[in-house]
């Protein structure tokens, strides 16, 4: 079967299934994130100990993700996601047992490693499916898939707030959520693209990559630019700068995911359920930012929008740190809007040249995901010395510094040729 032989309604059904799987991934992620404060209290961990424990989840993801593309190519996206979901179920059960039964930080770390591995495999594979659906539809839908993920995190965080308020143990909550998500995912994936269509899409990618290498080999006059296909993406200054932008975006988002609820509980002396509600507030407004962001980007361009949103992240984090309780909730909302676009815009910028998109996106994603490795222990170390709430000042500091390199994500100059011709100085 070729890609042209697939009826459009079949592709639309696959798009809907991808929406569902992205949303379920968000639910799975926030199921654990919404109970971090409860786990910290249950195990009596310091900020540094919690940071080191959270590192296990990031390590699991980083080890699993690099090989997922090849696994998906060999065994198919559906089989790959199913394996990731099943690994995740085991991980959620181990984490819940580690907190409620064994009361062991090592057991929890082992479970988090499994969750990170499973969700990492799941994440890469569903993005591959989303990219295939996007190409077959002939229009941009990837940001909407990520908005579905954010929406799932909101629902899960609100449920987690209720579970925390009701003092529901972690084991039934985590394991029950994982089982429901997996069943829903198995059903939804029945509408994914047929395997032969996936294979055809992989062949297209390979052909494009081979063409890029051939084009690079033909350039022997030494005039190739930094964006030349002949050059390794790891040696391209713009690609590396985009990676740093994504790293800061991942750090500002990941810090809230891991530490916001804890900061509200310990820094503002609020009950655990209120801390989780603050986390849900952050996720809700991050989702809103992603839904509205496409219009902002089309109207004003990447650089002005990211300058404004990163400033919002600074203001939001300051309100959380120094504001009263109700101002801190407003800060969580502003922070959520502030971090909503950095990661997806950075990935889009890395793919401006379709021929070099796979290599550049791989570099940018690798740099960005380093924040999920270094972030938890770094914030935990700061939290032990200045308190969890004040450690969040690192977010504002990085969001201000990234302003210096935001020009790296600007749209290619050729994009302006499709619009009315205006002087270059007209862009801010």
What is the spatial distance between Cα 138 and Cα 119, in angstroms, rounded to a whole number? 28
Cα–Cα distance list, 178 to 59, 95, 288 (Å): 20, 12, 26
Residues sharing a CB contact under 8 Å with residue 301, sequence separation 6 or more, in sequence order? 410, 411, 427, 428
What is the spatial distance between Cα 323 and Cα 249, in angstroms, rounded to a whole number? 23
pTM of the full structure: 0.73
Q: What is the pLDDT of residue 131?
A: 76
**Per-residue model confidence as pLDDT tens for the chain (428 residues):** 344 467 889 999 999 999 999 999 999 989 998 999 999 999 999 888 988 898 898 888 878 877 777 788 788 889 999 999 999 999 999 999 999 999 999 999 999 999 989 988 898 788 778 878 877 887 767 777 878 998 898 899 889 989 999 999 999 999 999 999 999 999 999 999 998 776 666 566 556 556 655 655 554 444 444 444 446 778 899 999 999 999 999 899 888 888 898 899 989 999 988 998 998 999 899 989 988 887 888 889 999 999 999 999 999 999 999 999 999 999 999 999 999 999 888 877 887 776 776 667 767 877 877 786 677 677 888 888 888 888 899 989 999 999 999 999 998 875 443 334 344 333 33
Torsion sign over Cα 304, 310, 314, 319: positive
First to last CA, the chain: 48
Q: What is the pLDDT of residues 95-121, one digit of tens each?
A: 999 999 999 999 999 999 999 899 888
DSSP string, 281-301: HHHHHHHHHHHHHHHHHHHH-
Residue 51: CA atoms inside 13 Å, Cβ hemisphere, count? 24
In terms of Cα–Cα distance, which of 240, 248, 284 is closest to 372? Answer: 248
What is the spatial distance between Cα 316 and Cα 395, in angstroms, rounded to a whole number? 10
């Amino acid at each position: 079967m070729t890609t042209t032989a697939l009826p459009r309604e079949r592709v639309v059904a696959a798009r809907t299934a991808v929406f569902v799987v992205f949303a379920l991934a968000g639910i799975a992620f926030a199921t654990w994130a919404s109970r971090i404060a409860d786990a910290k209290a249950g195990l009596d961990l310091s900020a540094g100990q919690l940071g080191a424990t959270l590192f296990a989840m990031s390590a699991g993801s980083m080890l699993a993700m690099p090989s997922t593309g090849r696994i998906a190519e060999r065994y198919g996206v559906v089989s790959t996601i199913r394996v990731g979901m099943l690994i995740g179920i085991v991980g959620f059960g181990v984490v819940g047992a580690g907190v409620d039964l064994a009361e062991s930080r090592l057991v929890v770390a082992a479970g988090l490693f499994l969750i990170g591995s499973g969700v990492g495999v799941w994440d890469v594979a569903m993005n591959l499916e989303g990219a295939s659906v996007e190409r077959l539809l002939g229009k941009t839908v990837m940001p909407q898939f990520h908005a579905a993920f954010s929406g799932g995190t909101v629902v899960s965080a609100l449920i987690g707030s209720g579970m925390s308020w009701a003092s529901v143990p972690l084991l039934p909550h985590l394991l029950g959520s994982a089982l429901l998500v997996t069943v829903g995912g198995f059903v939804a994936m029945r509408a994914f693209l047929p395997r032969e269509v996936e294979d055809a899409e992989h062949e297209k990618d390979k052909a494009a990559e081979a063409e890029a290498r051939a084009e690079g080999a033909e350039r022997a006059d030494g005039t190739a630019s930094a964006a030349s296909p002949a050059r390794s993406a790891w040696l391209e200054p713009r690609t590396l700068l985009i990676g740093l932008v994504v790293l800061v975006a991942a750090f500002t988002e990941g810090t809230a995911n891991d530490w916001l609820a804890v900061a509200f509980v310990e820094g503002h002396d609020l009950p655990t359920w209120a801390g989780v509600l603050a986390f849900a507030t952050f996720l809700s407004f991050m989702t809103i930012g992603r839904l509205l962001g496409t219009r902002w980007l089309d109207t004003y361009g990447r650089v002005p929008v990211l300058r404004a949103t990163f400033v919002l992240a600074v203001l939001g984090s300051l309100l959380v740190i120094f504001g009263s309780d109700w101002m801190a909730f407003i800060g969580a909302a502003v922070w959520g809007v502030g971090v909503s676009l950095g990661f997806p815009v950075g990935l889009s910028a890395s793919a401006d040249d379709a021929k070099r998109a796979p290599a550049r996106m791989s570099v940018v994603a690798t740099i960005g995901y380093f924040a999920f490795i270094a972030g938890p222990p770094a914030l935990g170390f700061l939290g032990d010395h200045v308190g969890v709430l004040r450690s969040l000042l690192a977010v504002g500091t990085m969001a201000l510094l990234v302003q210096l390199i935001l020009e790296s994500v600007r749209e290619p100059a050729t994009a302006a040729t499709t619009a009315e011709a205006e002087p270059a100085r007209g862009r801010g």
